[in-house]
Amino acid sequence: MVVGALSGPATDRVFHALADATRRDILIRVIRSGQSVSELARHYPMSFAAVQKHVAVLERAELVSKTRRGREQIVNGEVGALRRVALLLDAYEEIWRHRAGRIADILDEE
Amino acid sequence: MTVISSNKDVERLTLTFVAEFDAPVDRVWQVWADPRKLERWWGPPTWPATFERFEFEPGGQVRYYMTGPGGEKSHGWWTITAIDAPHRIEFDDGFADDNGDPVDPKDITHGVVTLEPNGSGTRMTSVSTFISAEQLERMSAMGMEEGLRLAMEQIETVLKD
């Protein structure tokens, strides 16, 4: 996993940020495309303030950044180009792990 | 099944994935050569694949679509560029429009798969090369969220140890 390449306090902040399912979910959404905090808040059974706190933890870990659009704050996935490619390759690797698992299932059935 | 190694080359946009199966090469070859078997594993879990055209020969054309969680369809095509049964297949994989025609014939992922005997089993090596980061992104968009979620869950597992 690409975040493992970091070290020191920055790593601790990244691991802490990603140790929560809601924060992982938020990060996955904003890596695809930037979203406002209120857009994000619609996906979770919690208050706007609670979502804002989660975003703040991700921000401290430098996994997301916020920009202003009118009255709204847009949350963006903060991943450099190479890191982004590494994440995408990670995702593609998972697709292959699933594929290999299902091939094994098919071979076992025969 | 054992995943032997998985190697990501960020500069070259290449994923090399090696797995071993408890079955002889001929049987593993069939999961590629038989479209009814292929469609049981090609699509990511939430995007099952259906192969509509399947010419398993050098220069052969393959057309398929994957059906997403909301019923949306994503079409894809292969051109098989080389086959050496039952050991090697090379193909170009790209996005197709709703008619199954390639959106851009140059916008491809090149796949090279080799099967080698390993004791009584088979070692499968799959090398996928993307032409650009944008293309990698589009290609992994299907199943990507799931992949990212799994990759991140592994971090959580490490934390719990």
CATH no. for residue A41? 1.10.10.10
pLDDT tens string, chain B, 161 residues long: the values are: 788 888 888 778 899 999 999 999 999 999 999 999 999 999 877 788 999 999 999 999 999 999 988 898 989 999 999 999 999 999 999 889 988 888 888 888 899 999 999 999 999 999 999 887 777 776 666 555 555 555 555 544 444 43
Per-residue pLDDT for A30 more than 60? yes
CA neighbor of A85 nearest in space, from B10, B17, B7, B148: B10
Please give the pLDDT value at position A77: 85
Closest CA to B139 of A81, A82, A89, A36: A89
CATH superfamily membership of B3-160: START domain (3.30.530.20)
* A28, A82, A103: residue with CB nearest B21: A103
Query: Does position A40 have pLDDT exceeding 80, yes or no?
Result: yes
What is the signed CA dihedral for B83, B86, B92, B96, rounded to 10 degrees? 110
Report CB contact under 8 Å: A103, B1.
Answer: yes
Taking CB atoms and an 8 Å cutoff, what residues of chain B touch A107?
A: 21-23, 27-28, 31
Q: How far apart are CA A2 and CA B59, in angstroms?
A: 37
ipTM over 0.85: no
The number of distinct structural domains making up chain A is: 1
Give residue for tokens 């706190």: A53
Contact A87 B1 (CB under 8 A): no
- CA torsion through residues B26, B32, B33, B36, sign: positive
pLDDT value at residue B156: 47
| A20: containing domain | 2-109
Going from N- to C-terminal start, the domains of chain B cover 3-160
Please name the member of B8, B37, B146 whose beta carbon is closest to the beta carbon of A89: B8
Tokens of B80: 């098989």
Instruction: Nearest chain A residue to B6 by CA: give it.
Output: A93
